[in-house]
């Protein structure tokens, strides 16, 4: 049974035919990851992702790539309780490089794939970034 559901996105910025740069957030807990957060009552997954991106980065210019949707699941401890978490992530392009981080973060970085994969903390996030890169390559949207 899932106890928590979150949504977010792998955000990328690409100018012309240049290689995409991915937005990574440095969370106060110390890890690097993508913008995401809990789905609130009455929200769809994409509505939650848009809200979380806006709250965590200040970015409102978000264009989802329609058929990219990945779900990761993991467990973590909250005190003595084991929590089952499900996170749905989309792939989204922005034309905005300006980032205003929230109180949940201590930094951010726009990174090309090789640097981003090294910077990300968790294996799930690294696998997600690899899937995003492959998706973009298959659709000739990047890495021409």
User: What range defines the domain where residue 57 resides?
Assistant: 4-138
Query: Where would I find the beta strands (DSSP E) of 95-139?
Result: 105-111
Question: Number of structural domains, the chain?
Answer: 1
Asked whether residue 32 is assigned to any structural domain, the reply reads: yes
Q: Residue range 4-12: average pLDDT?
A: 97
Length of the chain: 144
The domain spanning residue 81 has which CATH number?
3.90.79.10
Asked whether residue 92 is assigned to any structural domain, the reply reads: yes
Asked whether residue 127 is assigned to any structural domain, the reply reads: yes
Give the model's pLDDT for residue 18: 80
Distance CA 61, CA 100 (A): 13
Give the model's pLDDT for residue 2: 67
Asked whether residue 143 is assigned to any structural domain, the reply reads: no
Question: Exposed/middle/buried for 7, CB within 10 Å: 0-12, 13-18, 19+?
Answer: buried
Angle value at C-alpha 100, between 37 and 49, nearest 5 degrees: 25
Give the model's pLDDT for residue 141: 59
Asked whether residue 144 is assigned to any structural domain, the reply reads: no
Distance CA 15, CA 110 (A): 13
Q: Taking 90 as the threshold, does the pLDDT of residue 76 lie above it?
A: no
Give the model's pLDDT for residue 144: 44
Asked whether residue 45 is assigned to any structural domain, the reply reads: yes
Give the model's pLDDT for residue 66: 85
Asked whether residue 68 is assigned to any structural domain, the reply reads: yes
Residue percentage of the chain with pLDDT more than 70:
96
111, 132 in Cβ contact below 8 A? no
pLDDT in tens, 101-142: 999 999 999 999 999 999 999 999 999 999 999 999 988 755
Give the model's pLDDT for residue 142: 54
pLDDT in tens, 16-68: 778 999 999 999 999 999 999 999 999 999 999 999 999 999 999 999 998 99
Asked whether residue 114 is assigned to any structural domain, the reply reads: yes
Task: Count Cβ neighbours within 10 Å for each residue of 22-38 and write b for 16 or more, e otherwise.
Answer: bbbbbbeeeebbbbbbe
Give the model's pLDDT for residue 139: 82
110, 97 in Cβ contact below 8 A? yes
């Amino acid at each position: 049974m899932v106890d928590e559901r979150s949504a977010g996105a792998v955000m990328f910025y690409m100018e012309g035919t240049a290689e995409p740069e991915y937005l990574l957030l440095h969370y106060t807990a110390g890890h690097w990851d993508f913008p995401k957060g809990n789905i609130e009552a009455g929200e769809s997954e994409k509505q939650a992702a848009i809200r979380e991106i806006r709250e965590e980065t200040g970015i409102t210019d978000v264009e989802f790539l329609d058929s990219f949707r990945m779900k990761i699941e993991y467990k973590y401890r909250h005190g003595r309780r084991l929590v089952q978490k499900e996170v749905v992530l989309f792939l989204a392009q922005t034309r905005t490089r300006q980032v205003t981080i929230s109180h949940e973060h201590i930094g951010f970085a726009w990174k090309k794939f090789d640097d981003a994969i090294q910077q990300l903390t968790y294996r799930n996030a690294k696998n997600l970034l690899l899937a995003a890169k492959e998706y973009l390559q298959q659709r000739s949207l990047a890495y021409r």
